[in-house]
Amino acid sequence: MNFSRRRFISTAATGTMMATLAPGVRAAFSADSIQAGAPRDIVVAIFLRFGCDGLTMVAPAEDANYRASRPTIGVTSSGARAGLHIGGLDGVPFFMNPSLPEMKALYDSGKLAVVHAAGLPTHTRSHFESQNMMERGVVESDGPVLGGWLARHLKASNLALPDLGAVASASVVQASLRGWPGSVAVPDVTDFNVTGGDFNLKVIEALNAGAGAPAASARATADMIRSVKASVAKLSSADGSVAYPLGGFSAAMRSLANVVKMKAGLEVATVDFGGWDHHYNMNLYFPPAAGQLSQSLAAFWADLEDFQDRLTIVTMTEFGRRLEENTAGGADHGAASVMFVLGGAVKGGRIYGQWPGLKESQLREGDLSVTTDVRNVLQEILVNRRGETPSAKIFPSLSYAPLGIVRRPSPRGLLGRRTWPSIPIRYSVPST
């Protein structure tokens, strides 16, 4: 009988052992996969959870309706709340939040693009409904659709990935990766081990020293853990030149950078950054969050200098905030927001999309109207950087309309310029 590690996990005999596994390794016993050959582009999807305010992140600071609607929280073109001018869209000048100087530098270098008035063509202001739809890549009218948009991409591409090919830099696998059996949650790759550390790892190996497929799977998983730990140790001793800021999002990005530098075959990754639900006191709470985003993205980009030519990072949020500030110094749930796209193939230094305007007749029930479907940006990245064919299998009901944000690889790049080093990591590590 051919026992895969996935079947092994389902047996009662693994119950005690699986309880000892750390979060990033808890489902290491899974179906085997074949290591990928020439490296493809790495796509990192960052979700700014709980409604990041695009009108504070990238503001039409000189718009009369904006100034009138946000007298105390609005970004200005001069003075104490002056933003960083980045050009215009449809004749309207825009200003990055003053807490984003590092991202402004990436924008000026041509590596970072802005997509404004982006969102889903839906009519819900529920965090969880909107997050669920965006991560699954669907709208209400699509009906039942299995898995997340990244998982469906990997399935449609019929890829065989190594263990760390699809990683959630978090304690759980996000919805966008659910449905791909090889997805693994790795909150901190430096802690990639069983619960109890090396002692319990040795116990697992000792208990599975015999013959048989289950024991072989357990030993293979232990070998994988040791391989990852050895790779991380080499990185730790040779690295440290890039300074990351403090914060949970920054720590997740640092861990993900280490996974990339291990050259273990990472292709898609997700990262969460929560805390953007600024119903009150936005002037106090928004700047440190935006600052951590800016500094962390800049550090991640610098840390992966050797990988920039095949790295694409995209941010999204379930919805933005209403145009008019509330009486608590914040803004309530809205519609459209802003996306950022960073990468070596990004045609940056400009704002993409169509500006809907902020007159009352141009708003959607008091919200910034959605003019760019988030899924079009994601689809363009998959098509131009991952070789995807536009298909309803990935984004049902989407009429594909690329904005021209990212370039296609050169023919040489499509063939692959490098091969992965021989790191002995050969087995899928899906989430629980």
Reading the block at residue 95, the tokens are 């200003």
Inter-axis angle of helices 248-261 and 282-303, nearest 10: 10
Tens-digit pLDDT string for the chain (432 aa): 233 443 332 222 223 333 344 444 433 333 333 334 456 899 999 999 999 999 999 999 999 999 999 999 999 999 999 999 999 999 999 999 999 999 999 999 999 999 999 999 988 999 999 999 999 999 988 888 999 999 999 999 887 788 789 999 999 999 999 999 989 999 998 877 555 555 555 555 665 666 666 656 666 666 667 667 676 777 765 566 899 999 999 999 999 999 999 988 999 999 999 999 999 999 999 999 999 999 999 999 999 999 999 999 999 999 999 999 999 999 999 999 999 999 999 999 999 999 999 999 999 999 999 999 999 999 999 999 999 988 888 999 999 999 999 999 865 444 333 333 333 332 233 333
Please state the three-class secondary structure of 362-404 as a single string.
Answer: HCECCECCCCEEHHHHHHHHHHHHHCCCCCCCCCCCCCCCCCC
d(CA 364, CA 312): 31
Place of tokens 């100034």: 67
What is the rounded distance in angstroms from the CA atom of residue 297 to the CA atom of residue 127?
24
State phi, psi for 359 to the nearest 5 degrees: -70, 155
Question: Residue 104 is encoded by which pair of tokens?
Answer: 């402004």
The amino acid present at 163, given as its one-letter code, is D
Strand partners, 22: none
213 burial (CB, 10 Å; 0-12 / 13-18 / 19+) is middle
pLDDT of residue 123: 80
pLDDT for 317 equals: 99
Domains in the chain and their CATH numbers? 33-194+231-415 (3.40.720)
Of 264, 224, 258, 310, the closest CA to residue 35 belongs to 264
Contact (Cβ atoms closer than 8 angstroms) between residue 145 and residue 404: no
